[in-house]
Amino acid sequence: MASAETSYSGLNGLLTPEESVLLLVDHQGFQFANTHSQDGQLIVNNVVALAKTAKAFGVPTILTTVLEERGGYIIKGVQDVFPDQKPINRSFINAWQDQRFVDAVKKTGRKKLVFAALWTEVCLAMPALQAKGEGYDVFAVADASGGVSPEAHAMGMQRMIQAGIKPITWLAVLCEWQRDWARLETFGALASILSEHGGGSGVAFAWESQLLQAPRS
């Protein structure tokens, strides 16, 4: 079991790729069909960006689906990032009750769990709360998750925050894992991710890169 002591401030309160594992839960077609807290295409963009970021940093990523034989496979954008990985298909609503999922997390030896899921109030909150209770340091990626309504998403996030789970966004995850733009081994991959998925941040990043590369007079 991971240590029950987690930090909310100082360097230890931030994510590092060496300590993290990414858990992507139920980004499937039938889950999106009743996701109304925010635009579905925005969630797709963000969760694919998050998956690509994890791959760039070598962060172990666990994929899971619920009843995929009826609800469809995990979205293509995520599966394409990990083409050889078969998601854990389960019947439990709470992924943390599926021992295969828990064993996959334990096998990584990582203590910081970065969750994103559909829906926020159910398939994110339930495993996140249980994992938190078992001593893991849990982060919930709000903008790569979604609920059946704005209120449902907000209540799910609030419930997790009250339990000590840390809310975060996909871009914040990227920046905490990178930590230093002089970290050149991942800079190129992140530039590509930001350009494709970062919206205004990607535009600003591209503009800054062009300025840095421009010849000086």
**Cα 31–Cα 37–Cα 40 angle in degrees, nearest 5:** 55
Q: Fill in the DSSP letter of residue 13.
A: G
Residue for token digits 């909310």?
8
- Residue 66 contacts by C-beta under 8 Å, 6 or more apart in sequence? 26, 28, 89, 90, 91, 92, 93, 95, 123
Single out the residue of 186, 57, 48, 192 nearest to residue 209, CA to CA: 192
Distances (CA, A) of 100 to 32, 38, 90, 97, 166: 24, 31, 9, 9, 25
Beta strands in the chain (DSSP E): 20-25, 61-66, 88-90, 112-117, 137-141, 166-168
| Cα–Cα distance for residue pair 91/87, rounded to 1 Å | 13
Mapped onto helix, strand or coil, the DSSP state of residue 155 is helix
Mapped onto helix, strand or coil, the DSSP state of residue 54 is helix
Q: Please identify every residue annotated as catalytic.
A: 123
